[in-house]
Each structure stands twice: as structure tokens, then as C-alpha cells.
Amino acid sequence: MTDSAAHFDIDLASDGLLRLRAFGDWRARYLKPIDAALRDFADDSVGRDIIIDMSGVARLDTAGAMVLQRTFQACQSRTENSKFVGANDAHAELLEQIEDHLAPCHVEPFHRNAFVKMTERLGEGVVNATRAMLELWDFIGHTLVSGAKLIIRPARMRWRATVHHMEETGLDAMPIVGLMSFLIGAVIAFMGAKILRLFNAEILTVQLVGIAVLREFGVLLAAILVAGRSGSAFTAQIGSMKLREEIDAMRVLGLEPIEVLVLPRVVALIIMLPVLAFCAAMLGLVGGGLVSWLVMDIPPALFMAQFQESIGINNFYVGLIKAPFFAFAIAVIGCFQGMEVEGSAESLGQRTTLSVVQALFLVIVMDAFFAMFFLEIDY
């Protein structure tokens, strides 16, 4: 026996039979170079009788047995003449074992042509989007009804969970929200000062910072951060509970998931987002004031005086009134997407992404509507 890599030769015996002699080590690692040659040989010899001589084979594994059997079955013309010869017991046993396992398998799901697939995806997308929309409304309705029930019987509210979520979504987010809006306030002051200086109206920077931060940026920054931080966390928490069948367990134990999981999160966020928005607005003003002082020599006292004189309290109200609505949207979307998780961890990832994207989208759309609304009522 030789211990070289797998190789073979072919000759046409005098009796008209093809004779394939295999030599060497027929294990998977040696098959790549000879596979194409074996296939060509099999294609050329379809329907002919073949004898495969195994006496030169030193080692054989399932892969080697598979290619030999494949070649054998491709050639043989279903007569008694085709056979394997010279195999030792172990090799013969292996060849026999492999014999019934050569049917090709499906590798990928069935693919249609690109145009059909594209239309299919479009249709599927529309149907899914419609269904998701209806389900979301259904979910919002459920949440509101559960909320209303709690107003009637407040003892059922899970305050411990609510406070826990208030800490997680509110208090823990405070440093990053504060820092971000401080920096944004400073940037607005910088940019404003640079342009307003052209008109000799640097003092108007105070108005710019005040209105921008109070009306829009404070609440928007807080909402964007919370959507990224807490909306995704809600989806991941509820989604992984869904995957581990915890939600089903709750239902059969008579616990209402909306009441146990969703409402504490929604309430916590509705309470905390206005607080975050308030802090964000204040720190944004501090950032703007600091830049005004350091860059434009507007001392804090003058900044305050100008601020009090020119910025109405209504700007502050406009900012804060939006916060609970944003909070409701973020929390409901986060929880809804969590409930939609199904099957695998992959779906959890998709839903988490979707939850953040939808929450951000909704926050900005709602903000635009609020802006139009306040413009119309001139507030």
C-alpha cells in the first residue's frame, strides 16, 4: 500500500469493461485536485460497466467513499458486471454504508427570478407595513385601555417596576443628555455669534440660544437619546423575554403583559422625559451663556437680563409640552417591537434596530406637526 495522495488511472480492459484503479490516501483533504477529473470521467462514461479496483487504496473516509460511489453509480449500466473489487473489509463496509446517501440535497431556499422576487418583496412589504400599522394601533389601544383601568384602580399599578424604569431611563441618562445639550447650546451660540456679528447684532445671540434650546433642542435631544438608549433597551428586554417564552408564561399565569411590562415602562418614560428635557434645556442655556461670556464678552448678568426681557415663558412651555408625547411614542414603539420578536435571536436584533429607527422617525414627525400647530395658533 502506498501512502501518497489520492490518484487513479483508467484503462479499457479486453472484455470491454472500464477499469478504474484507485491508489493512495482517499481522504477528504486529498480529493480537491482529482474531483474535476473524476467528474469528467463519469460524464464521458455514462451507462458503461465499470470495475473499481480498491486494492491500492491505503485510507478511505466518507468523502473518498462518496466520490468513488458517485463515479460508480454515474457509470454503471445496471448490469451485474459493475462492481468494486479488492477493497478490504472496512473499506467495503464504508462503501456500502455510503451507497444509499448520495441523493443531492437542497442548499438554499427556492429562488424565483429577480423580477418576480422584486414584485413579491414589494407586495410583501406593503402588506407587512399595513399589518404592522394596524397591530401598532391595536397595541396602543390596549395600552391606553390598560392605563385607563389603572386610573380606576390605581392599586394595581406596579410602582416598584415603574420607579426602577424611571431610574434606568431617566436618572442614568441624565449625564449624557446634560453633556450633549450643553455642547449643542455652546455650538449654537458660536455659530449665531459668528453670523450675527456681521450685522452688529451680537446681543441677539441670547434670543437665538434661548428660543432654539427651549423650544426645540432641549426636548429633541433628550428624546433622541432616550429613543436610542431606552427604546432599544425596552425592545431587547421584552424581546428576549418573548424568546424564552416568559411572555407566554405570564399569560397562562393570568398576568397581563401589557400591565406588567408595558405600562410601567410607558409611565416611567412619560414622567422622566419631561424632566430630562428640562435639564437638557437648562444645560443648553448654560452652554450658550458660557460661550457668550467667554467669546463675546456678554457677562452673565447681561445675558440674564436680555434673556428675561426677550424670551417669553411660552417657549419653555412649548418645549416641555412635547416631551410626554415623545415619551409615549418611544416607549410604546419599544415595547411593541419587543412583543413582535419571534423565533430567533436574529429577529431580536432586527426588531431592536427597527424600534430605534421608528421611534426617531416618529419623534421628528411629531415635532414637525407640533411646530406647525404652534405656528398656527401663534404661541
Partner 1 sequence: MTEASTENVIEVRGLRSQFGDHVVHDNLDLSVRRGEIIGVVGGSGTGKSVLMRSIIGLKHPDAGTVSVFGENFYKASGQIRLSIERRWGVLFQGGALFSSMTVAQNIMAPIREHLGFEGELAKDMAALKISMVGLRAEAGANYPAELSGGMKKRAGLARALALDPELVFLDEPTAGLDPIGAAKFDDLIVNLKETLGLTVFMVTHDLDTLHAACDRVAVLAEKRVIAVGPLDDVRQTDHPWIQEYFAGPRGRAALAAKAS
Are the C-beta atoms of 93 and 65 separated by less than 8 Å?
no
- Rounded CA-CA distance 338/233 in Å is 9
Please report where in the chains the cell 424600534 appears, as a residue: 355
In this complex, which beta carbon is closest to partner 1, that of residue 109 or of residue 254? 109
Cα–Cα distance, 76 to 286 (Å, whole number): 88
**229 Cβ contact list (under 8 Å, min separation 6):** 169, 173, 176
59 vs 158, beta carbon nearer partner 1: 59
- CA-to-CA distance for 197 and 184, rounded, in angstroms? 20
Q: Smaller CB distance to partner 1: residue 228 or 349?
A: 349
Q: How far is the CB of 30 from partner 1 (least distance, A)?
A: 10
Select 86 or 324, whichever has its Cβ closest to partner 1.
Answer: 86
* Chain residues that interact with partner 1, rule: CB under 8 A: 27-29, 31-32, 35, 39, 61-63, 66-67, 70, 90, 93-94, 97-98, 100-110, 343-346
For 121, residues 6+ apart whose C-beta sits below 8 A from its C-beta are none
Cβ burial, residue 289 (10 Å; 0-12/13-18/19+): buried
Nearer to partner 1 among residue 70 and residue 83 (C-beta): 70
In angstroms, rounded to a whole number, what is the distance separating the alpha carbons of residues 302 and 14? 113
List b or e across 141-166, with b for residues whose CB sees 16 or more CB atoms inside 10 angstroms: ebbeebbebbeeeeeebbeebbeebb
Find the shortest distance in angstroms from Cβ 26 to partner 1. 11
Beta bridge partners of 8: 22
Place of cell 415663558: 313
Q: How far is the CB of 244 from partner 1 (least distance, A)?
A: 13
Task: Output the smallest distance, CB 29 to partner 1, in A.
Answer: 6
Least distance (Å) between residue 33 CB and partner 1: 10
CB nearer to partner 1: pick between 77 and 97? 97
Minimum distance from residue 324 beta carbon to partner 1 (Å): 38
* For partner 1, the closer CB: 27 or 164: 27
Task: Please state the closest distance from residue 6 (CB atom) to partner 1, in A.
Answer: 13
Whole-number Å distance between alpha carbons of 42 and 289: 84
- Which runs of consecutive H residues, i.e. helices, occur in the chain? 32-44, 62-75, 89-99, 114-152, 159-169, 174-196, 205-211, 218-226, 232-243, 246-252, 257, 263-296, 300-310, 313-340, 345-376
Minimum Å distance from CB 340 to partner 1?
15
66 vs 298, beta carbon nearer partner 1: 66
